[in-house]
Amino acid sequence: MKNINTRRLASVGAAFALCAALVAAGSSLASAGATKTPGLTSKQITIGATVPLTGIASSGYNEVAKAANAVFNYVNKKGGINGRKIKYILKDDCYGTPGFGCTGTPSTVTQTHALLSVPVFATVGSLGTPTQDSVRSLLKQNGVPQLFVNSGSRDWNNPTTYPGLYGWQTSYNEEGKIFAKYINATYSGANVCFLGQGDDFGTDGLAGLVGGGLTPLDTQLYSVGALVVSQGASLAPYVARFQSEKCTVVVLDTIPGATDAALGAALKLGYTPHWVISSVGSDPSTVYAPFASLGFDPEVGAVSFSFLPVPGSTSPWIPWMRKVLTADKAQFPTFTSATTLDGNMEYGIGWGVAFVEALKAAGKTFTRASFLKTLDSTTFSQTPSLTPLRYTTQDHQGLNGGFLTSVTSATAVAPITGKIYTTDSTPSGPVVSAKKTSSGIPSWLK
Q: Which domain holds residue 213?
A: 172-306
Same domain (yes/no): 122, 59: yes
Residue 350 lies in a domain: yes
Residue 436 lies in a domain: no
Does pLDDT of 7 surpass 80? no
Residue 212 lies in a domain: yes
Rounded to two decimals, the pTM is 0.87
Q: How much is the pLDDT for 116?
A: 98
Domain count, the chain: 2
Does pLDDT of 10 surpass 70? no
Q: How much is the pLDDT for 231?
A: 86
Q: How much is the pLDDT for 17?
A: 31
Same domain (yes/no): 128, 249: no
b (16+ CB within 10 A) / e for 280-311: bbbbbbbbbebbeeeeebbbeebbbbbbbbbb
Same domain (yes/no): 12, 132: yes
Whether 303 and 182 have beta carbons less than 8 Å apart is answered as yes
* Stronger pLDDT, 12 or 243, i.e. the higher one: 243
Among 306, 330, 358, the domain-final residue is 306
Does pLDDT of 12 surpass 60? no
Residue 424 lies in a domain: no
Q: How much is the pLDDT for 21?
A: 34
Among 399, 419, 434, the domain-final residue is 399
Q: How much is the pLDDT for 156?
A: 96
Same domain (yes/no): 72, 217: no
What CA–CA distance (Å, rounded) separates 159 from 408?
40
Same domain (yes/no): 276, 183: yes
Same domain (yes/no): 196, 289: yes
Q: How much is the pLDDT for 424?
A: 86
Residue 27 lies in a domain: yes
Burial of residue 220 (number of CB atoms within 10 Å: 0-12, 13-18, 19+) = middle
Q: How confident is the model at residue 14 (pLDDT cuts 50, 70, 90)?
A: very low
Does pLDDT of 31 surpass 80? no
- What CATH number should be reported for the domain holding residue 19? 3.40.50.2300
Share of the chain above pLDDT 90, in %: 76
Residue 443 lies in a domain: no
Q: How much is the pLDDT for 35?
A: 56
CA distances from 159 to 101, 140, 374 (A): 37, 11, 15
* Stronger pLDDT, 100 or 11, i.e. the higher one: 100
Mean pLDDT of 292-310: 94
Does pLDDT of 158 surpass 50? yes
Q: How much is the pLDDT for 205?
A: 95
Per-residue model confidence as pLDDT tens digits over 74-133: 999 999 999 999 999 999 999 998 888 999 999 999 999 999 999 999 999 999 988 999
Does pLDDT of 311 surpass 90? no
Among 306, 328, 357, the domain-final residue is 306
Q: How much is the pLDDT for 29?
A: 31
Residue 421 lies in a domain: no
The full DSSP string for 236-304 is: HHHHHHHHHTT-SEEEEE--HHHHHHHHHHHHHHT--PEEEE-GGG--HHHHHGGGGGGT--TTTT-EE
What CA–CA distance (Å, rounded) separates 165 from 65?
18
Q: How confident is the model at residue 309 (pLDDT cuts 50, 70, 90)?
A: very high
Same domain (yes/no): 265, 121: no
Q: How much is the pLDDT for 418?
A: 86
DSSP three-state, residue 173: helix
Q: How confident is the model at residue 30 (pLDDT cuts 50, 70, 90)?
A: very low
Residue 53 lies in a domain: yes
Same domain (yes/no): 116, 129: yes
Out of 8-22, 317-331, 362-376, pick the least confident: 8-22
Same domain (yes/no): 1, 135: yes
Same domain (yes/no): 20, 165: yes
Per-residue model confidence as pLDDT tens digits over 325-379: 999 999 999 999 889 899 899 999 999 999 999 999 999 999 999 999 999 999 8
Per-residue model confidence as pLDDT tens digits over 247-258: 999 999 998 889
Whether 203 and 165 have beta carbons less than 8 Å apart is answered as no
Same domain (yes/no): 390, 249: no
Mean pLDDT of 43-62: 93
Q: How confident is the model at residue 54 (pLDDT cuts 50, 70, 90)?
A: very high
Same domain (yes/no): 212, 158: no
